[in-house]
Amino acid sequence: MTAFLKVENLRKVFPSQRGGAPLTVFDDVNFTIEQGEFACIIGHSGCGKSTILNVLAGLDEASSGYVIMDGREVRGPSLDRGVVFQGHALMPWLSAERNVAFAVQSRWPEYDARKVKAVCDQYLGMVGLSGSEHKRPSELSGGMKQRVGIARAFAIEPKMLLLDEPFGALDALTRGVIQEELLRICAQTRQTVFMITHDVDEAILLADKILLMTNGPDARIAEVVVNTMPRSRNRQTLHKDPQFYRIRNHLVDFLVNRSKTFRDEPPAGFDPRNLPQLTPGLDPSEAPGAEAIASAAA
């Protein structure tokens, strides 16, 4: 069965600006995402996470390799992909409703004003902004602005949602509330999501699988960690599940201890085109291929 999103042999090289050697940000990046799956990618600054997202969005071009989504190669921006950046990117002269309406009208130019308003109301309500439709961005808090951005992305009904650290600038309380809103909406819509985050706990809360990138330059994806915790997880009870700490310890160990050494000296037999699918959340005796997985997660 063909994956919904397939990234194969992706490479990005930036030419030197002063006559030196070109900079290879990442190389031989390979991964897949199934329809309805929520994938997070984690790695240190400089490993090319945002560049990969921009390539998926069609906002940047890879130096080599390709991206296939729903059977078609990505060759530029498309309303099939909704993007939410860390900055809200709202048009300051438009109300929350009109910011969403701009996207809706771009997606469905045949809609009349009543239909556009109905779609805007639906998605602004979905992110908890009913009653704030006519406020401009300057009248909204940081968290509310991000909610408008999320509503705008969902309103075009994209096949895939791309999130570039959308909660990174928010305070912890606001971030937690919007994380739970996002979980609820994705469960309701079965949205396919690719998200960049630096927050290990956020990745465990949201993602079905977590892609771990080595340090840059010449970064690559080293492992795919499968989140074995049930999708019904929430912030209040997340840490009470023993799987949480097994997964968390594995992610932190990679980021702190293995992300650089893995790039410089990949383990014997490592194949970036056939990445290990690890399940550190399970007790080793419960996992498929128990001995191999327990050894890899140790």
261-273 pLDDT, tens digit per residue, is 998 888 888 999 9
98, part of any domain: no
pLDDT of residue 298: 42
The residues with which 12 forms a beta bridge, in sequence order, are 26
pLDDT of residue 86: 80
- CB distance 166 to 131 below 8 Å: no
58: its two tokens: 């069609």
The residues with which 213 forms a beta bridge, in sequence order, are 221
| Sequence-separated (6 or more) residues with CB below 8 Å from residue 238 | 201, 204, 205, 229, 244
234, part of any domain: yes
118, part of any domain: no
- Which of 281, 267, 276, 252 lies closest to 31 in space, CA to CA? 276
Taken in order 138, 141, 142, 148, is the CA torsion positive or negative?
Answer: negative
pLDDT of residue 284: 56
- Which of 32, 93, 98 lies closest to 66 in space, CA to CA? 32
Q: Would you say residue 111 has pLDDT above 90?
A: yes
Overall average pLDDT of the 131-154 stretch:
91
How does the average pLDDT of the chain come out, rounded?
89
pLDDT band of 207, cuts 50, 70, 90 = very high
| Sequence-separated (6 or more) residues with CB below 8 Å from residue 139 | none
Q: What angle do CA 129, 133, 134 make, to 5 degrees?
A: 145
How far is the C-alpha of 255 from the C-alpha of 276, rounded, in Å?
17
CATH number for the domain that contains residue 239? 3.40.50.300
Tens digits of per-residue pLDDT, 30-59? 999 999 999 999 999 999 999 999 999 999
pLDDT band of 294, cuts 50, 70, 90 = very low
Tens digits of per-residue pLDDT, 231-262? 888 888 888 888 999 999 999 999 999 998 99
100, part of any domain: no
pLDDT of residue 286: 57
Cα separations in angstroms, 86 against 60, 66, 149: 17, 25, 10
Domain that holds residue 186: 5-80+158-297
54, part of any domain: yes
pLDDT exceeding 70 applies to what percent of the chain? 95
Q: Would you say residue 288 has pLDDT above 80?
A: no
Domain total of the chain: 1
Q: Would you say residue 224 has pLDDT above 90?
A: yes
pLDDT band of 293, cuts 50, 70, 90 = very low
252, part of any domain: yes
67, part of any domain: yes
172, part of any domain: yes
pLDDT of residue 297: 42
Cα 284 vs. chain centroid, distance in angstroms?
A: 28
Tens digits of per-residue pLDDT, 156-204? 999 999 999 888 777 888 888 888 888 888 888 899 999 999 999 999 9
- 276-293 b/e with 16+ CB inside 10 Å = b? bebbbbbebeebeeeeeb
- Which of 125, 278, 292 lies closest to 211 in space, CA to CA? 278
Q: Could you tell me what percentage of the chain is helix, strand and coil, using 3-state DSSP and rounding each to the nearest 5?
A: 40, 20, 40
